Structure 1
Amino acid sequence: MVLLPGTAFVELALQAGARFGCDTLEELTLHEPLVLPEQETVQLQVSVGGPDDLGGRPFTVFSRCEGDWTRHAGGTLRAGERGDPPANPSVWPPADARPVDVAELHTTMAERGYQYGPAFQGLRKAWVRDSEVFLDVALPEQMRATPPAAECIPRCWTRPCKASALAPSSANRARPISLLLERVTLHAVGATTVRVTLSPAGPDTVAIRMADTIGTPVLSIDALAMRPLAEQRLLEAGGSRGDALFRLEWKELPVPTAATGPQARPGACWAATTSLD
């Protein structure tokens, strides 16, 4: 199955919020994964509601190929109150950080059933210090020729979200599909190479700070939690039953030899079929 990255929902929310002066994503919950069909076109709808007493606006992301809309994500957008961006390490990488082979992350995610195309393979270097993870992430060279249409570039930070698995304290070994994010703030745009710091923010929750190569803040997430999603829900979201290669098959049965009366005819036969539902 090809899934729309959870980070793309964050980009959709931030883009919608910008049109209403809401530059902070206060909260986002990914309820259902969006499985991209092989041939059909997916329609997306982002709905933003009116402001509450504190200036927050609810939003919801829907999709459909045909028929009814499916809700995938929802949360709250808020204006202002950015405050000072999180500080980034003055020395990169930190002197006491231990380098980690990035192939370890690829192996970990492959064991969980995830595969990434070239556009999402931008993790170049990684280090670990206690329960913190430090990353060098860049857009692949072939992706830099065309300026990105999105501001925070989901391709550039999908890997940092998954890289929390490198932390020694990471206890989440299930497939992290369902996301819960709190206070996502976009500080700058246009960066194609970023330095990322992941640090614990609670049980199975990490905070993420992204900066460019000179330390200017790019993106901050106060809390990111990855929740396991049952495989059956993925199958249901992907419509696997409707796409399966079912077929109707008739099996000829001989007429019982004891058949008598007006219903019995020479050469008559019976047929039976089984419902696949």
Structure 2
Amino acid sequence: MLLTGRLSLRSHPWLADHRVQGKVVFPGTGFVELAVRAGDAVGCDRLAELVLEAPLVIPEQGGCQVQVHLIEQGQGWTVEIHACPDGGESWTKHATGVLAGSGSRQTGVADDGGFDALGSSWPPADATLVDTSGVYDTGEDFGIVYGPVFQGLTKAWAQGERVWAEVELPEAQWAQAGAFGIHPALLDAVLHAAMFAGLESADSAMLPFMFGDVVLRASGATRVRVCVTRTGPDQISVAVADRTGAPVLSIGSLSSRPLPEGDFAVGPQDSVVLAPQWSDVEFAGEVPGTG
């Protein structure tokens, strides 16, 4: 099965608020959204794995064609996400994953303690409120700039290797939230809570690399509670609930890696340049209005 679409700053202006080293980069959570919605099309409600292989730069002018290719494998499906800039001929594979049914889902922190901690007793009594005022200034030191749409982390509490947080989508985006399983900007802001779980390197920003065991439980969220648990040196699990504690989404494991050094996200997108060219044309006869 092949699903197709197009991304641009004109059709998705909120993407302009996610920049890495001056380029508009499609967030990793956007690939999660594409894969989860592809799973809906083939009856799979679990994203068993998604590996981000290459960044997708959204051009300032024009856009990118997107293809989500699904191949049936036993009781599940493999998924590959490719993109090609308008006017280009080369397709780049940006993400690869596996879709499955929830019957094969493994139980992890996000299924028990994570959601238990997001219930009616809020905020958690034994956690310490942390200062989030400068959280979005930190990324700028490494070339990552989050605009207002992606600055959804409002409060956070920490205790050991677990962080709780409140995250919300800007009100201007609420009307669009229902068009997504979970708005990529909201989910991206959810992952910002990991900065307080000890994953952020002092020398480099950490970017999502591999998602495992992702299950969307409710769609259209605008305000959520979050529980992030550190499960390894560069790995976390995530539970997301609405303001009543009802489950919205879980991520069994998320691995991160440092932002690459040097020029980021240079690829086929940068080789396509659309520019006007002028040619001399001979004109016979009088120009109208000058006789």
The two structures have a TM-score, normalised by structure 2, of 0.77
Q: Could you say which residue in structure 2 is the equivalent of 1:15?
A: 37
**1:88 and 2:116 matched:** yes
The equivalences for 1:248-263 within 5 A come to none
Q: State whether residues 127 and 134 of structure 1, in contact with CA within 8 Å, keep that contact through their aligned partners in structure 2.
A: yes
Number of residues of Structure 1 aligned to a counterpart in Structure 2: 241
Higher relative contact order structure (alpha carbons within 8 Å, sequence separation ≥ 6): 2
The alpha-carbon distance between structure 1 residues 161 and 146, as it changes in their structure 2 partners (threshold 3 A), is closer
Aligned equivalent of 2:230, options 177, 188, 200: 200
Is 1:76 matched with 2:105? no
1:248 maps to which residue?
none
Contact 1:201 1:222 in 2 (8 A): no
Query: By how many angstroms is 1:233 displaced?
Result: 6.0
Distance of 2:61 and 2:195 partners within structure 1: 33
Question: Map of 1:24-103 to 2, 5 A cutoff?
Answer: 24-52=46-74, 55-65=75-85, 66-81=88-103, 82=105, 85-86=111-112, 87-89=115-117, 90=119, 91-103=121-133
* Aligned equivalent of 1:220, options 250, 255, 268: 250
Q: For residues 147 and 190 of structure 1, do their structure 2 counterparts lie closer, same or farther at Cα, with a shift above 3 Å needed?
A: closer
Task: Please state if 1:179 is matched with 2:230.
Answer: no
Taking the aligned partners of 2:50 and 2:25, their CA distance within structure 1 comes to: 18
Distance 1:110 1:30 in 2: 22
User: Cα–Cα, structure 1 residues 233 and 51, in superposed 2: closer, same or farther, change >3 Å?
Assistant: farther
Provide the TM-score with structure 1 as the length reference: 0.80
Mind listing any 5+ residue stretches in structure 2 that lack a counterpart?
1-22, 274-291
Aligned to 2:168: 138
Q: In structure 1, what is the Cα distance between the partners aligned to 2:235 and 2:250? A: 14
Q: Matched residues, percent identical?
A: 38
**Deviations 1:96-126 (CA, angstroms, capped at 9, x unpaired):** 1111122232122222221112211221111
Residue 230 (structure 1) shift: 2.1
- Which residue does the alignment assign to 1:154? 184
C-alpha contact 2:179 2:220 (8 A) present in aligned 1: no
Contact preservation (8 Å) 1:9, 1:73:
yes
Q: Deviations over 1:46-91 (max 9, x none)?
A: 0010122xx1211000000111110000010001325774333142
- Specify the code of the residue in structure 2 equivalent to 1:4: F
Matched, 1:113 2:135: no
Larger gyration radius, structure 1 or structure 2? 1
Give, in whole Å, the separation in 1 of the partners of 2:143 and 2:168: 23
**How far apart, in 2, do the equivalents of 1:200 and 1:214 lie?**
24
Deviation at 1:160, TM superposition (A): 2.0
Q: CA RMSD in A?
A: 2.2
Give the drift of 1:153: 1.3
Contact 1:191/1:218 (CA < 8 Å) preserved in 2?
A: yes
CA distance in 2, matches of 1:217, 1:240: 41
Structure 1 residues not aligned, in runs of 5+ = 244-277
Return the letter of the residue paired with 1:18.
D
Alpha-carbon displacement from aligned partner over 1:154-208 (angstroms, at most 9, x marks no partner):
11110122331222x3253423335111100011112211000000122210000
Q: By how many angstroms is 1:131 displaced?
A: 1.7
Residues 223 and 243, structure 2, Cα contact 8 Å, conserved in 1: yes
